[in-house]
Structure 1
Amino acid sequence: MAEEDMNADVHNMQSEESHWGQHYTHRIHSDNFYSLLKDAEVELYPGCKNFTKFSFAIYLFHIKCFNGWTNKSFNALLELLKLVLPEGNTLPRSYQEMKKMISALSLGYEKIHACPNDCILFWKENANEDKCTKCGASRWKESLNDGKNDSEDAFTKKKKKATKILRWFPLIPRLQRLFMSSKTASLMTWHEHERTKDGCQRHPADSQAWKELDSRYPQFSSDPRNVRLGLASDGFNPFKTMTIVHSAWPVILIPYNLPLWMCMKQSNFILSLLIPGPKGPGNNIDVYLQPLIEELQVLWEVGIETFDAATNQIFQLHAAVIWTINDFPAYANLSRWSTKGEYACPCCGYDANSKWLKHSRKHCYMGHRRWLKPNHRFRNDKLSFDGTQEFRNAPLPSSGIEVLRQVEDMNGSKDGPWKKKSIFFTLPYWKHLLLRHNLDVMHIEKKCM
């Protein structure tokens, strides 16, 4: 089934080539791309009906990545398959040859060196630095060549390896590719043209947060092709054994324009950043988010010329992250509100009702009856609770503008719940979003129920 879908997409793009090739090919490295389309038509071997040269390469490459095969073992497999398949087969002879063919998709990544203490990225004005400009830590790993004489400096420099490397998967070309197939391009407007609008909550487009963004920025919402994104991030151990303590942090974007049965499928997630371990970035995650935030600023303020295969037109594509999704500790890292201590609840804010337990040496959180109806019997029940009656109203969550004002009033102090101004506030629309951060239900539903 996947084979048929992939071939259908390639045929789709190939049939539309005459409509847009003369206008848009310079933006997608046309020579490599059209070579890829030709490979999608080439038989794996004469008479093969199940695979083409390209689809078989994709299947093998997929298996290699998911099972952690080494390049050496993969080359050995290709050599064997080359001998086993009928004469005249078009299977690549080596991993490098296959990788070169697949790279025509232009979905690679860029490596950006980072300070081992998560202070800065060695890019832009710091691209040529050998030490962190904040903490002085070396950019490079120590090697056996260190300390040799100056005559060997040129040779030694080639052997240097970065201590920490951020892998950045540029978002813009990945969003553009969503519109290169007429089938996918038409689905990117599903939320506007085909969604059932009966007041029920089925899709993020039914939410008040989505509608608030549309009403505040009518120019953005006027084109349903403009992409609304969710951002999710959390740490995971990339190794198969839990005896190794290692936490790598992927930053994943979810395109919500797609139908509800597609937008949350793993195949439609967009990996944007892979933050290296062995420790999580913690409150320094903003350092690693810089390349993504810069792209999001361009996508909001300027937009990117993109070809829409569904309409055979070029349009200016814009995009916006409408919220983040994370567990409670990561909530603190992304929002910069401390989720520990006296004011742990980001919704209650400074109105949190906490009590220090002397013997347990921790805070407990009271005042839950504030969310009950005014005439609820629990509000007057002293015996079953803490010996008090509760007549207060539930606290109102702070708006983005109020949060921004609170952060700007910090004057460099880190004593309160706010630790720093979040990098997301550099996005012009962030302070106007109704719901900026979501908690991942997977981590809290058991405790709530």
Structure 2
Amino acid sequence: MILCPCKKCGNIYWHFPEVVYEHLIVDGFIRGYKKWIFHGECTSNGTSSTINPTYPDTDYHQHVRQDDMEDMLRDAFNMHSHGEQSFLPDFIISEDCNIGENVFCETGTSAPNEEPNEEAANFYNLLNEMNEELYEGSKYSKLFFCIRLFHLKCLGGWTGNSFTMLLEFLREMFPFAKIPQSCQDMKRLIKDLGFGYDKIHSCLNDCMLYWGDQKNQQSCHVCGKSRWMNSNTEDVNTDEGGAQLRKKPVKVLRYFPLKPRLQRLFMSSKTAESMRWHNDKRTDDGLLRHPADSLAWKSFDSKFPSFASDPRNVRLELAADGFNPFKIMSTSYSTWPVVLVPYNLPPWICMKQSSSILSMIIPGEKGPGNDIDIYLQPLI
């Protein structure tokens, strides 16, 4: 959908192109909209965020930033506009707003009281962060700053402590900016985007996971080893000075839930169409260009015709290998990431790093070997 530049909508309401065409025929263009900055046309300075001085709605333009956080949030939570108003700072979500129906309330108004679900609450929390400027007059939001900086942390392999020191330095140099105080604060801010993971304790000898019905067990029912690094089975220990010390498990599996990640592939307007490529746009001439051309794929389709009948069903490749996370070859330590590759995508996309889905990280210090099936239980 696009913003409608007709006289009634005024580049505020979103509609499908067919509806916009009808509005323009009936009502005509809004006066003063000569530079199509809301529809991809750049101004003389090369940006699309500076509005024509004759444009009447200057208050609206003040809130148009150069980041694309709004589109990202809409794709991430599948909350696309259907004629409702775009995200403006003048329109906030009141405490008694009916979030379940995706209603935007003007400041000071009320709506029927309804408890929002967790996903909707996360969406509107991030929406508030998106509408919060990094500093007064900034063209970027606080959310955009946090996501970009955290992305650099991941690419550069910065430790949590070094990242916190960087944030402290930035806050000291720019006290007027709304910069998180620590790495943990930034993680809490962007956690609602779905970047979190589940921690699942495992046996020292890879016998079992403390998961599901066995979540509360204190020792392995196979080898008898304790779940914790010490023999005490209390949740919290007390040292000689009387201070409480939280216990540490001997092994922790990091599991990234698969279902929401697959849902994101179809929520995003940029990837939903590509997830049907193997059925809709693949050239079927007998040549092997894609896994869908292989005999194994066709054999699977013949055995499970109900699954193959819907091209939106996801085909995944599972890959796992060990590596030394400490970059010291003299140290014997092996951590095993488990990566999934969606084969629904075109071949020039599915093998890119951005298309790989990190599903879990199996802890070391030794490889799981034949016991890897124990760790794959949450995924399978």
Q: What TM-score range do you get, normalising by the shorter chain?
A: 0.5 to 0.7
Q: How far does the alpha carbon of each residue in 1:142-161 deviate from its partner, in whole angstroms, 9 at most, with x for none?
A: 38x89xxx9989x8995321
Q: Which of 207, 215, 226 is residue 127 of structure 1 equivalent to?
A: 215
2:260 is the alignment partner of 1:170: no
Partner of 2:345: 258
Deviation at 1:178, TM superposition (A): 1.2
Mapped pair 1:197 → 2:284: yes
Question: Is 1:45 matched with 2:132?
Answer: no
Residues 95-114 of structure 1 aligned to structure 2 (within 5 Å): 95-114=183-202
- Tell me the distance in 2 between the aligned counterparts of 1:151 and 1:62: 38
Corresponding residue of 2:146: 57
CA RMSD, Structure 1 to Structure 2 (Å): 3.4
Establish whether residue 91 from structure 1 lines up as the match of residue 179 from structure 2: yes
1:160 aligns with 2:247: yes
d(CA) in 2 for partners of 1:54 and 1:280?
Answer: 38
Q: Which moved more, 1:121-130 or 1:226-235?
A: 121-130
Deviations 1:218-273 (A, max 9, x none): 22122211100000011111112112110111111101111111111111111112
1:236 aligns with 2:326: no
Rounded to whole Å, the distance in 2 between the matches of 1:17 and 1:60 is 26
CA drift at 1:170: 1.0
Within-5 A mapping of 1:287-366: 287-293=374-380
Q: Percent identity?
A: 54
How far, CA to CA, are the matches of 2:286 and 2:224 in structure 1? 56
Q: Is the 8 A contact 2:78 2:267 kept in 1?
A: no
Q: How many Å separate the matches in 2 of 1:91 and 1:209?
A: 52
CA contact (8 A) 1:168 1:274 kept: yes
* Counterpart contact for 2:77–2:123, Cα < 8 Å: no
Please, what TM-score do these two structures have when normalized by structure 1?
Answer: 0.56
Which segments of 5 or more consecutive residues in structure 1 lack a partner in the other structure? 294-449
Residues 279-288 or 40-49, more deviating:
40-49
- Shift of the 44–232 alpha-carbon distance from structure 1 to 2, 3 Å rule, reads same
Indicate how the Cα distance of structure 1 residues 35 and 95 shifts in structure 2: closer, same or farther if over 3 A, else same.
Answer: same
Does the CA-based 8 Å contact 2:201-2:209 persist in structure 1?
yes
> Relative to 1, partners in 2 of residues 1:43 and 1:197: Cα closer, same or farther, differing over 3 Å?
farther
Higher RCO, Cα 8 Å, sep 6+: 1
Q: Which moved more, 1:243-252 or 1:77-86?
A: 77-86
Match of 1:78 in 2: 167
Q: 1:102-137 CA distances to partner (integer Å, 9 max, x unpaired)?
A: 101123111111111111112223222222111111
Q: Which residue of 1 aligns with 2:55?
A: none
Q: Report the structure, 1 or 2, having the larger helix content.
A: 1
Q: Which residue in 1 is equivalent to 2:123? A: 33
Tell me the distance in 2 between the aligned counterparts of 1:196 and 1:86.
57
Instruction: Tell me the SS of whatever aligns to 1:253.
Output: strand
Distance 1:79 1:217, change over 3 A: same
Distance in 1 separating the partners of 2:368 and 2:202? 11
* Cα distance change, pair 102–163 in 1 and its aligned pair in 2 (3 A): same
CA displacement at 1:65 relative to structure 2: 3.3
Q: Deviation of residue 92 (structure 1)?
A: 2.3
The alpha carbon displacement at 1:83 in A equals 3.7
Q: 1:180 to 1:42 in 2, by over 3 A?
A: farther
TM-score normalised to the size of structure 2?
0.66
Q: Which amino acid aligns with 1:229?
A: L
Q: Give the length in aligned residue pairs.
A: 285
CA gap 1:56/1:291 in 2 versus in 1, 3 angstroms: same
2:205 is aligned to 117
Q: Report deviation, 1:209.
A: 1.4
